[in-house]
Structure 1
Amino acid sequence: MARTARGDGPADGHTGTPAGGTAGTAARAAFLGRREELARLRADVEAAGLDTMAGRPAPRARVLLVAGRPGSGRTALAEEFAREMLASGRYPDGLLRARLTDPAGNPAPTERTVRELLRGLGLATTAGADEDELTGELRDALSRRRAVLLLDDVGSAAQLDGLIPDTRHCLVLAVARGPLTGVPDVRPCTLGGLRSSSALRLLERGAGEVRVTVDPTAAERLAEECAHLPAALTLAGGWLAAHPEAAVVDAVRRINEPLDEPPAADDDPYAPLPAPAGEADPDDEPEPEAEPEHGPDPAPVDDALRRAFLMAHAALPAPAARLLRLLALAPDGLADPHTAAALAGCPVATARTLLAHLALLGLLHPVGPHPGPGHPTDATAAPSGPEGGLEHHYQVPGCLHPLMRERLAAREKPADALLARARMLERTVRLLRGCEAVTEPPGSPARQWLAEQPAAVRFADRATAAGWLEARLPGLLAAARLAADDGQLDTLARRLVAALSRALITHRGAEHAGPELYRLHELVLRVAERQRLPREKAAALLSLGDLDARAGRHTVALDRYRAALEAARAQRDHAADPAALGRALESLGDTYTELGDWQRAADWYGRALSHRQSREDTAGAARLHGRIGTVLGRGGDWREALLAWRSAAAAHRRLGDTGAHAGALAEAARAQERAGRPQEALRTGQEALRQAERAGDRRLVATLRLLLADCAERLGETQAAASHRAAAERLLADDRALEESEESPPLRVQGP
């Protein structure tokens, strides 16, 4: 059974940070007590499990559950206990954390969670790998480590089961709303409210010691109205801090006012924030006509927390209150000054000030700081921000997110909310373009475009852009997913995915960014199918097929390429997509080649050849003749392979490519030799040798000399064979000597 305790607790309502993020030092200093709960967790770590007592110790990690209502400080307690465990030295491999439910209340896919954990271990993952493969990799990696896993916002036992390491040397801290009955031998600790003394100490941090001391009865009443929940107490203290002239009893009256908060008569909740002098307003966007959906119904929220939030929200200035509501649209609950500025339609400097103000009132949690545009990372550069060139990011507390969505639906017009989302996506696309452009050479069109952008959105150097991309990647991926799922901003969604893909390839490389690119291509495919865009659908399917083939999933790749072929053939303006069509045909041939199905590979290459010839693409046709010759030769059909290589040689001769012509003739000679026609192979090889010598390809010349030696021996011409073999050995020896001289450092000759 879950054990409920009312003890000292955390001083804030912190219920989670983004995966991979860290809580700020202020959050650590704010932790209060929970001594009884911490002691119980320590005891649960040491206690023997049920299987151990039965004589059958299970090789699984101990699972400790911290359960409680949103706003009870459950995540803060788990974080504090995790810090204790790390400080004890029992888990030298550190802390891994992930969030299993998104701010809208949707369960995070296990595949995404496992990738985050593997990334935290510094391990690369295979693009497109399924859930079972990834969880197996995670358990294998953790079997050799001693680490703490903090899994926040666990929605069900099924989410947790596949993430538990198969080793007793790791510890799992799960944070959930209620019990997880499907997890074997889980040790639950359910949180209640704070003790009265701790609640009053928490109020003192906002109200000040004097106001609480002067009216202790009102302070105790306010703590009761907040149900002793840390999050509600933090918001009440923030209200008192924002109203230094008010007494504690005023907060008691305010928190008991009706929950239906009417807009102020003199406020226009839809008016954009004014821009300070000298700063330009953001780009205007056309107002969308469709109405946005505000996502799934939020989880139930404690009444005390709701009333405390409404009290804090009503006391905010109109610009800050509107920004707070719009932050419910921030992807994955993450916001930086640029995201906030785009949502509210205000300058970045104004958004930065408002975010800091909301964080001081306990309505946001700072995470970071991280590099940002307009902030150099060079230590010798003059700091342009409060953190010496770094920018704070902010996390919307999970317990407040449903309340912010409610206020958004109640106070903002649907069209205005959609427009705010469009501004945010447009700003994100611009930042990603800048992130890529800063890597281009000076004077290039991309750098010229970057120089024309406002200073607030320019990256100082490549390192700053790379740091920003890595720090914001979870939010950027979440923005791409939300845009693709929305269905109303598909053009922006496609632009965002394209810009993010290019930025990832630029800074990480295509291979290292493969897992993220795979999911981005899936988003493009979803949008293309919804909008009936065959060209985009074919491109996405081809990219996915390439990643599947690279990962060894050839059967899946074949299905992708066939679907891409159908999409490329789809009539649009009475014309198929020739580029995608040719690429799909060749990719099918390549995949069957990897599978060793030579006949089918040759068949698909033949179709691709006909396509290239119909477009009078001689270079492409020459390449495909060669591929057909290769697969037919591997299949033992040397006669047909010889015909293909002769056609390839003729095409390369017409193109004037001497080196490729020599290579095709060499393959034709090899096919003749394998077919038992040494005399013809000797003549063709001699012609290939002349072309290779003209092209200056020494390695090909040596290879051809060895081939000619074999042919001469079969014909009984031993002297000619010996001559060819000796010439080949001289060439190979010279090449080896040249390579060794290039690798060896030059000798230093010292004088007497």
Structure 2
Amino acid sequence: MRHGTPTAGGRPDGGCFFVGRDRELRRLRTDLESAGLGTLAGRPAPHSRVLLVAGRPGSGRTTLAEAFVREVAGRYPDGVLRARLTDPGGMPVPTERTARDLLTALGAGGAPPGADPDDLTAVLRSELARRRVLLFCDDVAAAEQLGELVPENRDCLVVAVASGPLTGVPDIRPCAMGGIDRAAAVELLRSRVGTSPRLTVDPRRAESLAEACGDLPAALRMVGGWLAARPKLSVSDATAQLLGTPDGHPDTGGTSGTRTPDFLARAFHLVAGSLPAPAGRLLRFLAVAPAGFVDAQHASALTGCSPETAEETLHRLHALGLLHHAAPGCWTVPGCLDPLLRAELDARERPAEVMLARARMLERTVRRLHACRAVTEPPGSPARTKLAGMPRPLRFDSAREARDWLELRRPSLLAAARLAVAEGAGELDTLLRRLVHALGRCFAAHRTPEEAAPEVYRLQELALQVAERRALEPDRAAALLALADMDAAAGRLAAAGDRYRRALDAARACRDGVAATVIPERLGDTHGRLGDWARAADWYGRALSLRESAGDPHEVARLHGLVADAQARNGDTGEALRTWRAAAALHRRLRDPAGRGRALGEVGRLQQRRGRPDEALRSCREALAEARRARDPLLQAELRMCLADVCDAAGDPVAAARHRSAGEELRDLTER
């Protein structure tokens, strides 16, 4: 897919007419087959071969690379991975995001959400080290980006596309390219113009038109589509109009007073300038489309037209070579045209109009996300009732259709959230909060928790940025708590503890009693996992006090157990014994025999540790009686084993053997 989703196997839309690159393809084949410098020196490189297709935007560099990838993909049985390393707007894609997306395409786990980029690239290299894959990296911005992704496996191949050389990548094989040869350029024009004889009856004029396009495939496609839409226009008149179109760059003069024209910009301005005003306005606003991905609903929201009109216009723009086809009903903005569209948008649209278009697009996206989640709810539920009242184009007929929609648009949806934070200047924060919430719920509805976790982590980081920018303490507490939970689950305990404390401060500042009650217990868990049982007992004690103030006896009883366990692990058996007894008394008042049995069992264990076997024996017998009342065979088995240990310590091996045998029988029964 052209909008940069890494995919395992398959290939993106190959509908572009491909011609005139035989020399470059032969060069790439030779570079693939020839031995590297290290191999010739007797020191084979420990990493995969890297082939670079270098050329300026519009030269067809990606199309050439894709053609070569299709040609050699059969040699790599584990498939083709694709990633775009530059976002629309020219910003390099963070390594963490690229590595995460490639791991997802491989179907590999092992990298928790929020992992360090170095850890992610290490996991990616480990996965690639045992596979034979072809890694295609488009729009590489810097050598460092590529160097971190190159597999340490000679059975893999990396094909990279960039504007220039990538110095610093070892043993890279560059293939520089410019325009295609003149005959191929005319053939490309002929393929775009169709059956019209205009190019065949006057081949010299056709060559002049190709020359005016700089023999650049992107320019040739646009001009060819523009000429096909004007069947009565002669080739010579088309050439004159193209040569008379400014390319948008000032003439800097120089010693000769001339400069090389920007062929791509000149062709773009000719074609874009010929559009009707509504179509031209929609074209400019496509610069706002997240990740350059657009469908009829997006386009409709950007300009306020109907979806039917938007779809008709998108088909027309595609026919003119201004869009690439991505999937049925979906298109992407060619990367080479993105800077030109942004320049046009800045020059011809007011910032307030651009912001309004962003807001309309986000609002439409949130509504579709609500429909995407609602279709997973049971029939007759409030969500399904609300879904039935939505306009038909926004609804989904099945959960499968909604999931496919979500997966296809996942990169653009995440890009929409990132752009709203980075470029919204705070004006879109309310919509962004709704988008993050809706997107998170969609991922939870259509994916497993493990699949959804990386995206949810990214979304919570964005929500935290907005909450801190707008000083929204409830949102800040919620985002910090969610991130801390995921950090703790991933084993990043120090980071989790810091976020829990910040979340607690935010919860107290906004008087969020629920969060302020939950967080101390999470801090106790975190310190316990770090082995700091004194602090764990302190935080559990704070959580216990809050639960007592809230009047929640069941939670108070449970927290008594956590406090007592932390005290015992910290070596304070006296305090732990008193706390377990308090827990047992509370379970008795709550008429919870299983809870009381567990608490009394812990009392017996502590009494045994303190050298009081007779008291331990009484406590454990009482605990066993409670377990029988609760009809909990697993707890009975555990307490029988505890009684066996106490009897051994009391010098009664016969009773110990009896209890141990009974405990083993109960365990066997529960395991069947």
The alignment partner of 2:451 has SS state of coil
- CA distance in structure 1 between the partners assigned to 2:523 and 2:367 by the alignment: 37
**Counterpart among 86, 89, 98 of residue 83 in structure 2:** 98
**Counterpart among 563, 575, 590 of residue 628 in structure 1:** 563
**Counterpart among 327, 351, 356 of residue 310 in structure 2:** 351
Amino acid at match of 1:344: T
**Counterpart among 589, 597, 609 of residue 524 in structure 2:** 589
Amino acid at match of 1:244: P
Equivalences for residues 207-218 of structure 1 within 5 A: 207-208=193-194, 209-218=196-205
- CA distance in structure 2 between the partners assigned to 1:258 and 1:726 by the alignment: 95
**Counterpart among 165, 168, 190 of residue 151 in structure 2:** 165
| CA drift at 1:151 | 0.8
Partner residue of 1:134?
Answer: 120
- CA distance in structure 1 between the partners assigned to 2:500 and 2:112 by the alignment: 20
| CA drift at 1:720 | 5.5
Residue 177 (str. 1) matches residue 163 (str. 2)? yes
Aligned residues: 655
The alignment partner of 2:52 has SS state of strand
Partner residue of 1:678?
Answer: 613
Equivalences for residues 44-193 of structure 1 within 5 A: 44-87=31-74, 90-124=75-109, 125-193=111-179
Partner residue of 1:9?
Answer: none
- Could you report, residue by residue, the CA deviation over 1:14-69 in whole angstroms, capped at 9, with x for unpaired residues? 98754439432422xx1113111111111111222222233322212111111111
**Counterpart among 16, 23, 29 of residue 12 in structure 2:** 23
Partner residue of 2:573?
Answer: 638
**Counterpart among 580, 592, 613 of residue 657 in structure 1:** 592
- Could you report, residue by residue, the CA deviation over 1:507-543 in whole angstroms, capped at 9, with x for unpaired residues? 1122221111111111111111101111111111111
The range that moved more, 690-699 or 226-235, is 690-699
Equivalences for residues 446-457 of structure 1 within 5 A: 446-457=383-394
Residue 341 (str. 1) matches residue 328 (str. 2)? no
Task: Evaluate the alpha carbon distance shift between residue 700 and residue 322 of structure 1 in structure 2; reply closer, same or farther with a 3 A threshold.
Answer: same
| CA drift at 1:120 | 1.8
| CA drift at 1:228 | 0.7
| CA drift at 1:144 | 1.4
Identical columns (%): 56
**Counterpart among 480, 502, 509 of residue 541 in structure 1:** 480
Task: Evaluate the alpha carbon distance shift between residue 353 and residue 190 of structure 1 in structure 2; reply closer, same or farther with a 3 A threshold.
Answer: same
CA RMSD, Structure 1 to Structure 2 (Å)? 2.2
Q: Which blocks of at least 5 consecutive residues in structure 1 are unaligned?
A: 1-13, 262-300, 370-391, 740-752
Amino acid at match of 1:139: R
Residue 198 (str. 1) matches residue 184 (str. 2)? yes
- Residue 6 of structure 2 contacts residue 105 of structure 2 at CA under 8 Å; is this kept in 1? no
- CA distance in structure 2 between the partners assigned to 1:70 and 1:723 by the alignment: 83
Task: Evaluate the alpha carbon distance shift between residue 676 and residue 302 of structure 1 in structure 2; reply closer, same or farther with a 3 A threshold.
Answer: farther
**Counterpart among 566, 569, 579 of residue 514 in structure 2:** 579
Partner residue of 1:288?
Answer: none
Partner residue of 2:288?
Answer: 329
Equivalences for residues 432-447 of structure 1 within 5 A: 432-447=369-384
Task: Evaluate the alpha carbon distance shift between residue 48 and residue 728 of structure 1 in structure 2; reply closer, same or farther with a 3 A threshold.
Answer: closer
The alignment partner of 1:184 has SS state of coil
| CA drift at 1:91 | 1.8
- Residue 100 of structure 1 contacts residue 152 of structure 1 at CA under 8 Å; is this kept in 2? yes
- CA distance in structure 2 between the partners assigned to 1:347 and 1:446 by the alignment: 26
Amino acid at match of 1:100: L
The range that moved more, 659-668 or 228-237, is 659-668
- Could you report, residue by residue, the CA deviation over 1:520-579 in whole angstroms, capped at 9, with x for unpaired residues? 111111111101111111111111111111111111111211222222232x4xxx2222
| CA drift at 1:687 | 2.9
Higher helix share: 2
Partner residue of 1:648?
Answer: 583
Partner residue of 1:268?
Answer: none
Partner residue of 1:247?
Answer: 234
Residue 311 (str. 1) matches residue 262 (str. 2)? no
Higher relative contact order (CA 8 A, sep 6+): 1
Task: Evaluate the alpha carbon distance shift between residue 606 and residue 15 of structure 1 in structure 2; reply closer, same or farther with a 3 A threshold.
Answer: closer
Amino acid at match of 2:222: L
- Residue 247 of structure 2 contacts residue 266 of structure 2 at CA under 8 Å; is this kept in 1? no
- Could you report, residue by residue, the CA deviation over 1:87-133 in whole angstroms, capped at 9, with x for unpaired residues? 4xx32222111111111000110111111221221112321111111
Query: TM-score by structure 2 length?
Result: 0.93
**Counterpart among 496, 500, 512 of residue 435 in structure 2:** 496
Partner residue of 2:500?
Answer: 561
- Could you report, residue by residue, the CA deviation over 1:624-677 in whole angstroms, capped at 9, with x for unpaired residues? 111111222233332221122122223333334333233222222222222222
Query: TM-score by structure 1 length?
Result: 0.83
| CA drift at 1:622 | 1.8
Task: Evaluate the alpha carbon distance shift between residue 66 and residue 724 of structure 1 in structure 2; reply closer, same or farther with a 3 A threshold.
Answer: closer
| CA drift at 1:733 | 4.4
- CA distance in structure 2 between the partners assigned to 1:181 and 1:415 by the alignment: 42
| CA drift at 1:582 | 2.2
The alignment partner of 2:136 has SS state of strand
Task: Evaluate the alpha carbon distance shift between residue 428 and residue 656 of structure 1 in structure 2; reply closer, same or farther with a 3 A threshold.
Answer: farther
**Counterpart among 476, 483, 487 of residue 420 in structure 2:** 483
Amino acid at match of 2:277: A
Task: Evaluate the alpha carbon distance shift between residue 16 and residue 499 of structure 1 in structure 2; reply closer, same or farther with a 3 A threshold.
Answer: closer
Amino acid at match of 2:438: A
- CA distance in structure 1 between the partners assigned to 2:625 and 2:577 by the alignment: 19
Equivalences for residues 350-499 of structure 1 within 5 A: 350-369=309-328, 392-485=329-422, 486=424, 487-499=426-438
Task: Evaluate the alpha carbon distance shift between residue 661 and residue 511 of structure 1 in structure 2; reply closer, same or farther with a 3 A threshold.
Answer: farther
| CA drift at 1:237 | 0.6
The alignment partner of 1:96 has SS state of strand
Partner residue of 2:23?
Answer: 36
